[in-house]
C-alpha cells in the first residue's frame, strides 16, 4: 500500500497511519504532509495494534514538551494494556531513566547526568574525536570506496563514548549491538537483554575499579544512584550518544554530497558543514519521532481530543517543517526542535554538534573528490518510527595513503576494525513477523 493511502487513514489499521514499513522509511516527509489534513495532531500506529497521536504542529509540540504535568513520561498505565510480545514495548516501557521520569525523580536523575557530563573535559573530548576520526579515515583511505555509515559514522561515536565511559571495547560493542536492535525494533526483547547485561557488567567493573570516567562519576554522585538506576542512565546516554549521532553525521554527509545547494560549495573548496548540520536538524533530524508522553486523563490539545493512557509522540521532523512555522533561512537558525524543549531538552547538544562537525570536516578535507557511489534516490533507510537513519552511505574517491601519526596508533585502528566486524556479525536477526509488519503486510 502506498504512503498516500496510509496517510489517508488505512482501514486495515483502524483509520490510522502506520509509522513503519518501507514506504514510511523511504518517504516520511510525504507521509507527514498528508497527515496535516488532520490539523496539529494526527492518528498514527507505531506498530500493529499500537495506536498513538503524532504531534505535527510546531507550536503544539512546544505546548506538550513544556508541560510535563499534563504530558508525563511514565508509561506504566499504558503498558498494562499492551501485550508482552508487542515489538515496541521494550523500546517504550517505563524504566527508572531520566527521560522516562517525572517530577522530583526526573530532577534527581538529570542532575546526576548533567553533573557527571560537566566533568568531561571539552579539550580531551575533542582530542578523542580527532584521534578516532583520523584513525578511521586512515583505515579506508587507500581503498577508494567505503560505506561511510558502517565504517565511519557508526563507529566514531562508539569509540569516543567508550573512552568517555571508561568502557572496555568488548562490553561497548555488546551495548551498541543491543541498542541498535532496540532502536530499529528488531528482536527487541533479546536486544534489550544484550544491552542491559552488558551495561550491568560495566557498572560492576567500575564499582570494583573506579577511574576518571563518566561511569565512575555517576557511581560516586551524591544522588547515590542504585545499580538499576545507573544501568538505565548509562543505557540512555549510550543510546543518545551513538544512534542519533551517527545519523546526524551520515545524514549531513549525504546532504553535502547530493544537494546542489551544498555540493557546489564543496567543489569550490568551501565546506558549509555547520549549514548542512542545521539543515539536517530541521528537515531530517536523527530522532524524527520521539519524546513520548502518556496523559493520565483525556486532554484537549489545540482542539484535538487526546485519550488518556495513549502515547503522544512528538513528530520532530514534521513539526520542524510545519508550514505555519517554516523558516526561509535555516543556516544558523537553531530554533528547531531536534534537541527537544522544556525540562527534557538534550543537555549535551554542543558536544553532539562538535563531534559531527569534526567528523564531517575531516573526512571531506582528507578525501576532497569523494562522491556518492550510487544515486541518492537508491539509498535505503532503516525501519523504526523513531529514527531517520540510512542503511548505508557508499562513496568512492581517489585512493590516498595517509601515514600514521608519529606515536603508536595501531591499537586504535585494530579496535575500530574489530568493532565493525563484531557489529556486522552480531546484528540482531529479523523475525519473519517483524519483516511482514515493516513491509505493511
- Which ranges of 287-409 does DSSP label H, i.e. alpha helix? 316-320, 349-366
Q: Which residues pair with 52 in a beta bridge?
A: 44
Kindly state the helix (H) or strand (E) to which residue 417 belongs, with its residue range: helix 410-425
Residue 425: the pLDDT is 55
Q: Are 376 and 259 in contact (CB under 8 A)?
A: no
Instruction: Give which of 161, 171, 158 is closest to 200, Cα–Cα.
Output: 171
How many structural domains does the chain have? Answer: 1
pLDDT at 428 (0 to 100): 44
What confidence score (pLDDT) does residue 298 get? 97
Distance, CA of 99 to CA of 376 (rounded, Å): 34
DSSP secondary structure code for residue 39 in this structure: -
Contacts by 402-411, CB closer than 8 A, 24 or more apart: 402/134, 402/137, 402/138, 402/141, 402/366, 404/138, 405/134, 409/131, 409/135
What does the pLDDT read at residue 424? 55
Q: Where are the alpha helices (DSSP H) in 284-397?
A: 316-320, 349-366
- Residue 410: the pLDDT is 45
Nearest residue to 32 (alpha-carbon basis) of 52, 24, 88: 24
Q: What residues of the chain score a pLDDT lower than 50?
A: 1-8, 11-12, 267-271, 409-414, 427-441
Neighbours of 10 (CB within 10 A): 16
Gyration radius of the chain's alpha carbons: 21
Q: What is the pLDDT of residue 292?
A: 97
* Residues 216 and 206: beta-carbon distance below 8 Å: yes
94: Cα within 13 Å, side-chain hemisphere: 16
**Containing structural domain, residue 270:** 3-438
CATH number (domain holding residue 359): 1.10.630.10
pTM of the model: 0.87
Which pLDDT belongs to residue 415? 52
CA–CA separation, 134 and 367 (whole Å): 12
- What is the dihedral sign for C-alpha 413, 418, 419, 420? positive
- The C-alpha atoms of residue 48 and residue 91 are separated, in whole angstroms, by 15
Amino acid at each position: 500500500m502506498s504512503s498516500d493511502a496510509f496517510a489517508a487513514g488505512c482501514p486495515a489499521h483502524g483509520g490510522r497511519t502506520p509509522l513503519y514499513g518501507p514506504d514510511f522509511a523511504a518517504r516520511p516527509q510525504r507521509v507527514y504532509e498528508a497527515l496535516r489534513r488532520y490539523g496539529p495532531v494526527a492518528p498514527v500506529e507505531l506498530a500493529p495494534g499500537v495506536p498513538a497521536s503524532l504531534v505535527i504542529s510546531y507550536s503544539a509540540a512546544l505546548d506538550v514538551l513544556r508541560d510535563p504535568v499534563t504530558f508525563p513520561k511514565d508509561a506504566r498505565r499504558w503498558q498494562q494494556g499492551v501485550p508482552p510480545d508487542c515489538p515496541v514495548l521494550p523500546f517504550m516501557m517505563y524504566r527508572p531513566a531520566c527521560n522516562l521520569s517525572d517530577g522530583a525523580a526526573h530532577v534527581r536523575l538529570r542532575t546526576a547526568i548533567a553533573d557527571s557530563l560537566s566533568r568531561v573535559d571539552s579539550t580531551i573530548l575533542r582530542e578523542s574525536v580527532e584521534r578516532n576520526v583520523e584513525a578511521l579515515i586512515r583505515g579506508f583511505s587507500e581503498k577508494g570506496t567505503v560505506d561511510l555509515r558502517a565504517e565511519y559514522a557508526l563507529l566514531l561515536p562508539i569509540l569516543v563514548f567508550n573512552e568517555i565511559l571508561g568502557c572496555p571495547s568488548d562490553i561497548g560493542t555488546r551495548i551498541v549491538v543491543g541498542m541498535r536492535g532496540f532502536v530499529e525494533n528488531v528482536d527487541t526483547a533479546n536486544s534489550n537483554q544484550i544491552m542491559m547485561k552488558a551495561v550491568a557488567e560495566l557498572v560492576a567493573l567500575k564499582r570494583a575499579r573506579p577511574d576518571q570516567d563518566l561511569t565512575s562519576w555517576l557511581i560516586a554522585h551524591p544522588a547515590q544512584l542504585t545499580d538499576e538506576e545507573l544501568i538505565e542512565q548509562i543505557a540512555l546516554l549510550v543510546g543518545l550518544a551513538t544512534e542519533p549521532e551517527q545519523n546526524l553525521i551520515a545524514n549531513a554527509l549525504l546532504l553535502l554530497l547530493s544537494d546542489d545547494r551544498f555540493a557546489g560549495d564543496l567543489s569550490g573548496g568551501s565546506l558549509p558543514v555547520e549549514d548542512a548540520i542545521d539543515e539536517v536538524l530541521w528537515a531530517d533530524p536523527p530522532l524524527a519521532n520521539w519524546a513520548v508522553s502518556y496523559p493520565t486523563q483525556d486532554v484537549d490539545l489545540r482542539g484535538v481530543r487526546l485519550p488518556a493512557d495513549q502515547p503522544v509522540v512528538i513528530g520532530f521532523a514534521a513539526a520542524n517543517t510545519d508550514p505555519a512555522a517554516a523558516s526561509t533561512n535555516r543556516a544558523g537558525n537553531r530554533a528547531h526542535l531536534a534537541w527537544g524543549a522544556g525540562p527534557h531538552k538534550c543537555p549535551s547538544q554542543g558536544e553532539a554538534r562538535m563531534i559531527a562537525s569534526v567528523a564531517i570536516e575531516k573526512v571531506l578535507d582528507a578525501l576532497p573528490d569523494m562522491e556518492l557511489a550510487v544515486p541518492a534516490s537508491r539509498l535505503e533507510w532503516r525501519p523504526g518510527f523513531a529514527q531517520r537513519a540510512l542503511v548505508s552511505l557508499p562513496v568512492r574517491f581517489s585512493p590516498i595513503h595517509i601515514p600514521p601519526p608519529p606515536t603508536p596508533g595501531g591499537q586504535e585502528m585494530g579496535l575500530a576494525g574489530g568493532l565493525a566486524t563484531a557489529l556486522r556479525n552480531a546484528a540482531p536477526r529479523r523475525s519473519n513477523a517483524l519483516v511482514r509488519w515493516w513491509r505493511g503486510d
